[in-house]
Amino acid sequence: MKTQIAATVLIAALSGTAIPAWADPAERRVAVEQGVTLRVIEAGKATARPIVFIPGWSTGADIWRAQIDRFAGKYRVIAFDPRSQGDSTKVTIGNTPEQRAADLHAVLSSLHIRRPVLVAWSQAVQDTAAYVLKYGTRDLAGIVLVDAAVSDGSKGIAERPKQAAFQFGLFGTYLIDQQAYLRGMFGAIISKPQPREMIESTVATGMKTPPSVGMSMLVADMFTLDRTAALGKIDCPVLIVAAGQSFELEQQKAEAKAMPNARFVEIDDSAHAVFIDQPERFASALSDFLGTLDAVPRR
């Protein structure tokens, strides 16, 4: 916990944001199925509009700490470690977007979260697409997809063979030396200098996922099911935030055009972890989006 608090202070200091009174959110365990509990953190106003920050692969709720601190003054803010990540239960089955979507639904039900805005980064974009395919969007106020295109499954291997080959090559590196892989990955997806303690904490979180489990997650995310049908089922407001350096930039632009209620924001001078590279600009884009939702009476 001391490491997490230190990381929070350092991230906020870097972004120029004063640490508010809720910088260390309440933490609890939420059961999502028998034998599986997720670490959930919550901050802000219990009666306000809920925002649920969902982390990407091999990360946990704390990756969102700077944004949690920003929005907890006005909103009810929730984040969690997905199954097999961070301090949530490690399992050898169910490490798929479809099961994580069911876990998300269980968290929302357990905490009585109504009409949330889901903010999904990277792997969590697949989880959100799976959620929409299973549960629809009737109970969602809005969706924010952060720098990832919805997977088209195994057919993407044929359509983008070089990209697929590159990814499978990385799997081998990850299995051989997980820590080296994670350091290289975070060095690539975060392009702005960060405090050493923040990077060490993030790598340590990634090391909590067994490598064989982590690899199965990546395969399930990118190369199994085609989840693009979710795009046609999303009828709530959507914000797509893409990093200027994203290799999926054109796919994300196309997805925004495919959804009638979507707006697209590209943040240049940023790598994949756009909310860390450009925290002010990301927060501004999210705040503007939330403002449009707040102008509409809540159901």
Task: Identify each DSSP E strand in the chain by its residue range.
Answer: 26-33, 36-44, 50-54, 76-80, 117-121, 142-146, 238-243, 262-267
- Residue 37 is predicted with a pLDDT of 98
Structure tokens at 113: 């979260």
For the chain, give the percent of residues with pLDDT over 90.
83
pLDDT (0 to 100) of residue 159 = 84
For 84, left (φ over 0), alpha (ψ -120 to 50), or beta?
Answer: left
Q: Name the residue type at position 286.
A: L
Lowest mean pLDDT among 156-165, 172-181, 274-283: 156-165
DSSP code per residue over 33-61: ETTEEEEEEEEE-TTSPEEEEE--TT--G
Q: For the ranges 9-13, 250-254, 285-289, which has the lowest average pLDDT? A: 9-13
| Residue 90 CB burial class (10 angstroms; 0-12, 13-18, ≥19) | middle
For residue 25, the model assigns a pLDDT of 81
Mean pLDDT of the chain: 91
Asked if residue 167 has pLDDT above 90, the reply is no
Pairing relationship of beta strands 36-44 and 26-33 according to DSSP bridges: antiparallel
177 has a pLDDT exceeding 50: yes
Other CB atoms closer than 10 Å to residue 258's CB: what's the count?
A: 13
Average pLDDT of span 234-247? 96
How would you label 131-151 residue by residue, b for 16+ Cβ within 10 Å and e otherwise? bbbeeebeebbbbbbbbbbbb
pLDDT band at residue 160 under the 50/70/90 scheme: confident
Which domains does the chain carry?
2-294 (3.40.50.1820)
189-207 confidence digits (pLDDT tens): 999 999 999 999 999 999 9
- Output DSSP code: residue 89: P
pLDDT in tens, 41-99: 999 999 999 999 999 999 999 999 999 999 999 999 999 999 999 999 999 999 999 99
pLDDT at 296: 64
**At what angle are helices 123-135 and 211-223 packed, to 10 degrees?**
60
Average pLDDT over every residue of 26-50: 96
Report d(CA 179, CA 176) in Å as an integer: 9
